[in-house]
Amino acid sequence: MAIFAIRNRKKARMALISDINVTPLIDVMLVLLVIFMITAPLLTVGVKVDLPSVNAPNITGNETPIVVHVDKERHIFIGEIEVDAETLPEKLRAICSEDGKEARIFVKGDRILSYGHIMDIMGRISSAGFKKVVLVTELPKKQGQNEKNTR
């Protein structure tokens, strides 16, 4: 009987602990969360444009639009690539797929530009056969809000 008691004590000492230490896993996940929270706003692509403010409902859509930026020096950008006004329709056709005429194109023009200049750019895009061309504006700021709106 004494031998049986000694064997049970040895088995009890040699038993494996099956607990998982999750503290390092939580630490790594929190560090990754902080890194993504810091870098996500930096990934926003685009040209800095001071948009005008307008009260209008938002436009919803499923496909990702092509964004054409016009800065205050009248430089035209598709994404971050600068293009000339004359070559803008050809560049847009090259970017779009076979069903390119149904592509949504957002025009973001700086607020200090004249209405005629923005309409000239929209006219060039529309005359190339693109049907879904919209101007992007901001809602008027209320209590520190900065929401974007398309019209």
Each residue's pLDDT tens digit, 3-62: 555 566 666 666 677 788 889 999 999 999 999 888 887 776 666 666 666 666 666 665
CA distances from 24 to 21, 28, 30, 80, 151 (A): 7, 6, 10, 40, 49
The domain made up of 66-150 has a fold known as Nucleotidyltransferase; domain 5 (3.30.420)
The reported pLDDT for the residue numbered 33 is 93
Query: Are 138 and 148 within 8 A, CB to CB?
Result: yes
51 touches 71 (CB < 8 A) = no
Cβ(50)–Cβ(112) below 8 Å? yes
Pairwise CA distance, residues 134 & 57, whole Å: 13
Cα(94)–Cα(87) distance, integer angstroms: 11
What is the value of pTM for the model shown?
A: 0.54
